Amino acid sequence: MLNATSSPTISYYDYIIVGGGTSGCALAATLSQNASVLLLERGGSPYGNPNITSLDKFGAALSDLSPTSPSQRFISEDGVINARARVLGGGSCLNAGFYTRASSEYVRAVGWDSRLVNESYQWVEQRVAFKPEMGPWQSAVRDGLLEAGVVPNNGFTYDHLHGTKVGGTIFDPNGNRHTAADLLEYANPGGLTVLLHATVHRILFATKARPKPVAHGVVYRDASGAKHRAFLNRGLKNEIIISSGALGSPQLLMLSGVGPAQQLRAHNITVVLDQPMVGQLMSDNPMNAVFVPSPLPVERDYGMFSPKIGQLSTVPPKQRTPEALAKAIEQMNSLDEQAFQGGFIIEKITGPISTGHLELRTNSPDDNPSVTFNYFKEPQDLQRCVEGISTIEKVIESRPFSKFRFDFMSVGQLLNLTASAPVNLLPKHYNSSQSLDDFCKDTVMTIWHYHGGCQVGSVVDHDYKVIGVDALRIIDGSTFNASPGTNPQATVMMLGRYMGVNILRERFANEDLEN
């Protein structure tokens, strides 16, 4: 890994990958075996930062609002507080660690080769996936789900199955996080250059005397603001691949002149290709939770629900400064420890069906675009949430879970307690427990599984090539039509490996690349 300040003003590679995130690292490691690869990451290294690597520090990176934080906060137009990664390894450096494959139905629907998919998952799992140790709270929730009729009991598995299961984790038994950056251990060092703090400002296209625009280079700036250019080597198989995530990929396409022409002109961006679907069909899987105060200690703290992460709607967005957060944390720390003894049971709806859109706010890749997810716009999404909360209610009232709740607190009281917490910026109903519809709307949060914006079939084809231009692909969660598995990170990493193998097969069509 090199700091981009040390990179030459002009350089040449067979493949240029924009974004060293969950898919980009797997992709770079694979392509480096048979080609020269430049991996450009706008953030820094995850290594040596305990806020990223240690399970005990989970949530600390998400609460870091500094300009060099591995997490960049944004608030959707819906009023839900969210985050995007800014670090080598991407979202796998920030998340809660859940590892699960996509279902076989998902794989079939997308049209992937199931054999290569399985091989690619295994390639990922050798480096980053582990069987978790079950704590008492987790065991009680599992047994409560089974008593509530969420069957069969699938035990421990990476597979996405109906019923109850214990999924995988990217935290090892010692509590150390293993991220997508670890997949770079597979890389051929002689074939890969990794640049950190390298922010790509635009893709360069050749347009003269060509039937359609051809991507041939990128412009990026280092931490000092110095401009660099990287170009593709001569060769029909060489490509630029954007792996900047569901916010970053559509944003970079637009900044490069590929997107809705009217919006691009409004930002004085030269239109390379009028592509109205860039930034459309954005989705975020709604997450809702119920907090259960417990007479017994539980194995995890507030984690992702802490004010430290920004679920702090009592402070208006413009006043949500590091100082305001520090004050809230100080107040939180001064409370009796028993006030925080308890845990959350969360549900995430599949899909979702509701979609929104993304628009540029500024011409800077450092700034967040404006994004609207339209949570629960489609009634079926809301109904699924209601069913999820109903299942949580059954778990709370189950016999295996009884030791973790106070008898004097009804489920309705628990719902109202949860709804009173400042989890988003939305107006609240008076008594959310009276209507699970209202509870779902009032307490909606993100589980950071947002996707779309460059979907297969509208922005990219089934080989992930950008429709209407040459030598440009997008390989990341922005291409997904729905979120795979319980957590998408395994599939995003798998996709990087899967497409890397396919691209090399295409590059050397007449050679044996099985090994």
Instruction: Report the distance separating Cα 367 and Cα 252, nearest Å.
Output: 11
Q: Is 201 annotated as a binding residue?
A: no
Q: Is 23 annotated as a binding residue?
A: yes
Specify whether the CB–CB gap between 397 and 415 falls below 8 A.
Answer: no
Tell me whether the omega of the peptide bond preceding residue 50 falls within 30 degrees of 0, making it cis: no
β pairing state of 168-169 and 98-99: antiparallel
Q: In sequence order, what DSSP letters do the residues of 23-90 get, joined into one string? A: THHHHHHHHTTTS-EEEE-SSB--TT-HHHHBGGGTTHHHH--STT-SEEEEE-TTS-EEEEE-BTTG
Q: Is 477 annotated as a binding residue?
A: yes
Q: Is 352 annotated as a binding residue?
A: no
**Residue 62, token pair as written in the block:** 């998400």
**Residue 301, token pair as written in the block:** 């703290």
Q: Which of 178, 228, 357, 449 is catalytic?
A: 449
Q: Is 193 annotated as a binding residue?
A: no
Cα→Cα distances 464→182, 352, 356, 482, Å? 24, 22, 21, 16
Q: Is 448 annotated as a binding residue?
A: yes
Instruction: Report the distance separating Cα 296 and Cα 402, nearest Å.
Output: 11
Instruction: Report the distance separating Cα 430 and Cα 434, nearest Å.
Output: 9
Residue 69 identity (one-letter amino acid): S
Q: Is 311 annotated as a binding residue?
A: no
The yes-or-no answer on residue 449 being catalytic is yes
Q: Is 275 annotated as a binding residue?
A: no
DSSP 79: S
β pairing state of 192-196 and 37-40: parallel
Q: Is 489 annotated as a binding residue?
A: yes
**Residue 386, token pair as written in the block:** 């209601």
Instruction: Report the distance separating Cα 245 and Cα 371, nearest Å.
Output: 13
Residue with tokens 């009281």: 413
DSSP H helix total and E strand total for the chain = 13, 24
Chain Cα centroid distance, residue 162: 23
Known binding residues for FAD are 22-23, 87, 200, 448-449, 477, 488-489
Tell me the catalytic residues. Answer: 449
Residues making up the annotated binding site are 22-23, 87, 200, 448-449, 477, 488-489
